[in-house]
Structure 1
Amino acid sequence: MRQMARVRRGAMTAALLAISVTGSLMTACTSGGGATDDGRGHVPGPAHSHGTAASSGSVLAVKIDNAPAARPQTGLDAADVVYAEQVEGGLSRLMAVYASKLPKAIGPVRSARESDLELLRQFDEPTLAYSGVQHKLLRLVDQAPLNLRPPDKVPAAYYRGTDNAAPHNLYLRPQRLMGSAAPGSAALTTGFRFGAAPSGGSPETSRTVRFPAARFTFTWSGSRQRWLVAMDGTPAVTAEGRTVAPATVVVQYVKVRTSKYHDVLGNKTPYTETVGSGTAKVLRDGRAFDVNWARPKATDGTRFTTADGTPMNFAQGQVWVVFAKA
């Protein structure tokens, strides 16, 4: 039945993502106790009973801290797709999705948000690693078709590092969730297409996307044929000094509304709507393309097309999607 479901899910999405991501990271942090919250009173929700390891073919999605105190992150360069979303106070947080390769460690791991549930519906029972959720979200998270793996369910998969203070020091050992091998790129069905760039576009050397209290800058490197990432003005590198450099950057303009949830300080949680349609900028090969995006329902991937309806191909390699307010 699960195999049949994957076939049906694959038919609804536009194309299978085939990315080859290289690099393996090890963290210098030592092991600590398995935490059960994200340092702000958020507690994990109950997990579905799919066993200790993820189901075969399930991608791994990890909520990654992006506060300045959490940098440099670990394992970010090995992700197939990185989503950047707005959270409380106008700050940013990342969702990294792994299908082609699992690094040695990933983090710092932080809490999930309501809009993550909608974003992850495009995958077939993805495994979600996160530090916890707001208490009022527990019911929604438990009902979502996710393989939930917070620290209290698999404490051996998490550890506290020593380089940063809590809550910015919780790390994941992904092999303890997924086994020794990644599910393979065929498990990642996002609607993305890869291939030669379409005609048109305009030369682009740098683009900055601003949140109320955060910003991302992508600068084209002709020698590396990649976009170099800077966050809040600081170049993005991993804990071992690897430059974070996606091949394709998508600035997707979406509706960002206020949800009914808030953090412990009373800051309202933004809700990023990823189902619907709108416009986007796709950066690849040192050029910017104006495109349209469409995701009719949560179980669909997002399709990107040029003005004449031609599918927008991405460059082979890591993809960053930044959700900017329309």
Structure 2
Amino acid sequence: MRRARLITTVLLSSGLLLAGCGGGSDSDDEDSTPAAQEVAGSEEVASTWPMTGLPVEGDDDAAQPHPVLVTKMDNTYSSSPQIGLGSADLVVEELVEGGLTRLAAFYYSDLPDNVGPVRSMRASDIGIVSPADATVVTSGAASPTIARINGAGIEFYNEGDTGLSRDSSRSAPYNLFADLQAVGEDAAIDATRPQDYLPWGSAEDFPGGQPAKKIAASFGGGHTTNWTFDGKGYVNENSYADQGDEFPADTVLVLRVQVGDAGYLDPAGNPVPETKLEGKGDAMIFHDGRLVRGTWSKASLDAPLQFSTKAGKLTIPAGHTWIELVPAANGDVTFSK
């Protein structure tokens, strides 16, 4: 059974605050489509991975005996090199204090034995991880955040738990790493396929859009993530990932979001922001060197994301997706051909 992380972790997390806050089967000749399988909610879907929409191959099964593991990863120069990012199914980049960003890397189809540097959670993560019923891998969090996370029923592993350890060759707090195989074994559940994180579709169904091969997603003065389409996918030009371990982004999904105040300060005295991933807002979907504009909506923190254009519902091409949660008020997104 999955291990619950209860309020008793507050004592540990408060002690970590200074360190933790910053940032086929064979088929016959007549039918080669993936077999259908039951998922959470008793729906029948094709055998595809829920965090990418890609088909399951070989002897793999989209119903794994572990939850989705979302690892909170530092995204500053001090994290260099980030390890394990290339094995993630999906990544969400979110604003943290000081105008910097932190990554929520989703792992389900593959659990690497070394991922990090692992950093702390934020209340923003509730809306990010809840739709996947995910377990968070983190260094800890401030007491107000722990209370919010527990209240949302989100389970997490932090320093001192199975699978997390410090790398003595690196400087704290950028030296906590996670063995996700160990975490996954400890967090074992009955094998059930999670719901799709995004409304996956095919590239053929993606609208024509407009040319857009260079992207700059600014989070409000502190950090800008730059992307270039290289003919195959999107390359993060200012990634801190280890060489050869970069996230293979097929799609960059930009959501303009509301950002509020989490209600406390970090150790440096900076207000901690809270991204509100519910409601609706503008969406920019970059795929295959093109941009399609639309609207995202999310009925509640634990509801799935939905997308639409004036023509109707919009699906996201199956593949590895990087989601940028750019503040609507003071963030900016620019692109060029």
Give the shorter-chain TM-score range.
0.7 to 0.9
* Shift, 1:81, TM fit: 1.1
User: Closer, same or farther in 2 for the Cα pair 1:117/1:153, shift >3 Å?
Assistant: same
In the alignment, does 2:196 pair up with 1:161?
no
Residue 212 of structure 2 is matched in structure 1 by: 204
Taking the aligned partners of 1:218 and 1:194, their CA distance within structure 2 comes to 23
Q: How many residues align?
A: 279
- Secondary structure of the equivalent of 1:139? helix
Whether the aligned pair in 1 keeps the contact of 2:132 and 2:197 (CA below 8 Å) is: yes
Residue 302 of structure 1 is matched in structure 2 by: 305
- Secondary structure of the equivalent of 1:113? coil
Residue 246 of structure 2 is matched in structure 1 by: 243
- Secondary structure of the equivalent of 2:256? strand
Whether the aligned pair in 2 keeps the contact of 1:63 and 1:129 (CA below 8 Å) is: yes
- Secondary structure of the equivalent of 1:73? coil
Residue 42 of structure 1 is matched in structure 2 by: none
* Shift, 1:76, TM fit: 0.7
Taking the aligned partners of 2:209 and 2:82, their CA distance within structure 1 comes to 32
Residue 325 of structure 2 is matched in structure 1 by: 323
Task: Write the mapping of 1:79-158 to structure 2, written as runs, cut at 5 A.
Answer: 79-124=88-133, 126-154=134-162, 157-158=163-164
Residue 41 of structure 2 is matched in structure 1 by: 7
* Shift, 1:285, TM fit: 0.6
In the alignment, does 2:282 pair up with 1:279?
yes
Taking the aligned partners of 1:97 and 1:106, their CA distance within structure 2 comes to 11
Task: Write the mapping of 1:209-228 to structure 2, written as runs, cut at 5 A.
Answer: 209-211=217-219, 212-222=221-231, 225-228=232-235
Q: Which amino acid aligns with 2:175?
A: N
Larger CA deviation: 138-147 vs 109-118: 138-147
Residue 33 of structure 2 is matched in structure 1 by: none
Q: Which amino acid aligns with 1:194?
A: G
User: Closer, same or farther in 2 for the Cα pair 1:152/1:160, shift >3 Å?
Assistant: closer
Larger CA deviation: 184-193 vs 198-207: 184-193
Taking the aligned partners of 1:276 and 1:100, their CA distance within structure 2 comes to 29
- Secondary structure of the equivalent of 2:124? helix
Q: Which amino acid aligns with 1:7?
A: G
| TM-score scaled by length of structure 1 | 0.77
* Shift, 1:21, TM fit: 10
* Shift, 1:188, TM fit: 4.9
Residue 172 of structure 1 is matched in structure 2 by: 178
- Secondary structure of the equivalent of 2:153? coil
Taking the aligned partners of 2:44 and 2:259, their CA distance within structure 1 comes to 28
Residue 67 of structure 1 is matched in structure 2 by: 76
Gaps of 5+ in 1: 23-54
Larger Rg: 2
Over residues 270-292 of structure 1, what are the superposed CA-to-partner deviations in whole Å (9 max), with x where a residue is unaligned?
11011111111101011011011
Taking the aligned partners of 1:19 and 1:185, their CA distance within structure 2 comes to 17
User: Closer, same or farther in 2 for the Cα pair 1:137/1:86, shift >3 Å?
Assistant: same
- Secondary structure of the equivalent of 2:71? strand
Q: Which amino acid aligns with 1:140?
A: R
In the alignment, does 2:54 pair up with 1:19?
yes
Whether the aligned pair in 1 keeps the contact of 2:114 and 2:177 (CA below 8 Å) is: yes
User: Closer, same or farther in 2 for the Cα pair 1:122/1:106, shift >3 Å?
Assistant: same
| TM-score scaled by length of structure 2 | 0.75
Taking the aligned partners of 1:282 and 1:248, their CA distance within structure 2 comes to 7
Larger CA deviation: 179-188 vs 71-80: 179-188
Whether the aligned pair in 2 keeps the contact of 1:83 and 1:320 (CA below 8 Å) is: yes
Residue 44 of structure 1 is matched in structure 2 by: none
User: Closer, same or farther in 2 for the Cα pair 1:221/1:5, shift >3 Å?
Assistant: closer
Gaps of 5+ in 2: 3-37, 58-63, 329-337
In the alignment, does 2:196 pair up with 1:193?
no
In the alignment, does 2:80 pair up with 1:77?
no
* Shift, 1:221, TM fit: 0.7
Taking the aligned partners of 2:56 and 2:77, their CA distance within structure 1 comes to 26
Taking the aligned partners of 1:162 and 1:153, their CA distance within structure 2 comes to 18
Taking the aligned partners of 1:193 and 1:325, their CA distance within structure 2 comes to 25
Taking the aligned partners of 2:258 and 2:225, their CA distance within structure 1 comes to 19
Q: Which amino acid aligns with 1:19?
A: L
* Shift, 1:241, TM fit: 3.0
- The CA RMSD over aligned residues, in Å, is 3.0
Whether the aligned pair in 2 keeps the contact of 1:61 and 1:128 (CA below 8 Å) is: yes
